[in-house]
Amino acid sequence: MAQLRLEIVTPDKLVLSQDVDYVGAPGLLGEFGVMANHIPFLSALGIGSLMYKVGGKANYVFVAGGFAEVSGNKVTILAEVAERPEDIDIERARRAQDRAKQRMDREKDKVDFARAQSAMQRAFYRMRVRENAH
Ligand code: ATP
């Protein structure tokens, strides 16, 4: 029986609101997992694949930036960007990955390297989520 409420919101929409058994999220300092009766907790979010389990089945949502709050058996994900698999355009992610790769090769010693690296991570995890993977 699901005992944990998961809500994922972005500045412009409610992406998901569902009872779940487990949430695994990409915190800025590393992956963290939440089950029912977790202690109150707050974390900044990095770029990655958020996983939630319902009845033993794993589901994935792409998230990038924002915050996660755990309080009273509720996990609130206030994400800058959040996309469900069906909302992800895989060809667009592939193009973004190619552009980022080229930029990383060109900009090795420049400040834009970090920006290209983030774009690369976004593209990588979008593709993972589109393929239902973590
Ligand atoms: P791109 O270079 O393709 O724009 P990006 O990683 O720079 O990718 P973001 O800045 O993360 O894009 O997102 C900008 C907006 O575009 C957001 O609303 C995001 O949901 C959407 N978006 C970006 N890439 C995709 C994708 N592959 N499929 C669906 N929506 C996407």
Atom of ligand 1 nearest to the CA of 82: 20
Q: What ranges make up the beta strands (E) of the chain? A: 4-9, 14-20, 22-27, 30-34, 41-44, 47-54, 57-71, 74-83
Q: Which CATH superfamily is domain 4-87 in?
A: F0F1 ATP synthase delta/epsilon subunit, N-terminal (2.60.15.10)
Residues having CB closer than 6 A to ligand 1 are 64, 81, 83, 87-89, 92-93, 96, 119, 122, 126
Whole-number pLDDT of residue 105: 85
Separation of CA 76 and ligand 1 centre (Å): 22
**Given a cut of 60, is residue 114 above it in pLDDT?**
yes
User: Rounded to the nearest whole angstrom, what is the distance from the C-alpha of residue 31 to the centroid of ligand 1?
Assistant: 22
Q: pLDDT tier at 48 (50, 70, 90 boundaries)?
A: very high
Largest Cα–Cα distance in the chain? Answer: 52
What is the value of pTM for the model shown? 0.93
pLDDT band at 104 (very low <50, low <70, confident <90, very high): confident
Q: Which atom of ligand 1 is nearest to the CA of 88?
A: 28
Mean pLDDT of all residues in 38-58: 96
